[in-house]
Amino acid sequence: MVGMPNHSSHSPALPAVAVLGLGAMGQALAGAFLAAGHPTTVWNRSPGKGEDLVARGATRAAAPADAVRAAEVVVVCVLDYDAAQAVLDQAAGELPGRLLVNLTSDTPERAREAAAWAGALGADYLDGAVMVPVPMIGTPDALIFHSGPRAVYEKYEATLGALGGRTAHVGEDHGLAAVHDLAVLDFFWTAMHGLVHGFALAATEGVRATAVAPYMNALAALLSSVVDGTARELDAEEFPGDLDNLTVEAANVRHIVRAAERRGLDAGALRGVLTAADRSIALGHGADNWTSIVEGIRRPA
């Protein structure tokens, strides 16, 4: 059943928004727009989602084209770009003159292709990446990357800001939101793997994860403290080894790999780290610091 508009409490100065895709994230996005006072239309491929949003004042559209027709700003957030394109193809005729904000994560290449497709239709386009879990949407700490024309972003910055207080424009190139997304999540998931792997290694000797956790927290704080310095070294291409060097640190990783494999654990990720370190050493960076491992990362075998 298609809901009836209920915008009596909304300010007419706020742009109307459509949210296509009502998974957990899509529902949170639509809820944040509603909470900020935007007239909000929602659509989902399968029925049964969004009842709470309709009860709060959202309009349920019967088809993607109906949702887009009702809005000035169209936000799509679905599983992947193939799913997004399948949805948007159904509303292509309604997109000209509107802003399409794609918060479906993918690669920079796919983002640029989507921007070109939207531009050919006469629609403005911002690519985006949501960097926080569902419960954080609409909060001051919610980080969301956007990329595309700065003038378009600035025009709708207040609207996009309803989704999170740390909404950031990261460049005019439509692919840059995906670049930032991939880089940050590369760090996150690698670190999360290390966290679980470390707990698993301790468990092989009967040490509970909760016993190791306080020391993991201490090391996580140390890791946080080196982020800015590592970034500066990479940008400057300078890797001073006066306090530590890659040869010594690679030996440390080698011990962990050996211990993990002897205990029957998968050490594939750690072996990848060691391979990159050994390659950097072979390239002459043994006396440089850990950051010089980037040379082995840049030159895979």
- pLDDT exceeds 50 at position 6: no
Angle between helices 81-89 and 108-121 (to 10 degrees): 10
pLDDT digits (tens, 9 = 90+) for 104-141: 999 999 999 999 999 999 999 999 999 999 999 999 99
Domain ranges of the chain: 17-174, 204-298
- pLDDT exceeds 70 at position 12: no
Is 17-174's fold the same as 204-298's?
no
- pLDDT exceeds 70 at position 277: yes
pLDDT digits (tens, 9 = 90+) for 137-147: 999 999 999 99
SS3 of residue 20 by DSSP: strand
pLDDT digits (tens, 9 = 90+) for 217-269: 999 999 999 999 999 999 999 999 999 999 999 999 999 999 999 999 999 99
What is residue 100's predicted lDDT score, i.e. its pLDDT? 98
7 pLDDT band (50/70/90 cuts)? very low
- pLDDT exceeds 90 at position 68: yes
- pLDDT exceeds 60 at position 183: yes
Hey, what's the torsion of the CAs at 45, 48, 50, 56, to 10 degrees?
140
What is the CATH number assigned to the segment(s) 204-298?
1.10.1040.10
Rounded mean pLDDT, 72-90: 96
One of 3.60.21.10, 3.40.50.720, 3.40.640.10, 3.40.1550.20 is the CATH number of 17-174, namely 3.40.50.720
pTM for the structure as a whole: 0.90
In the chain, what is the greatest distance between 2 CA atoms, to the nearest angstrom? 69
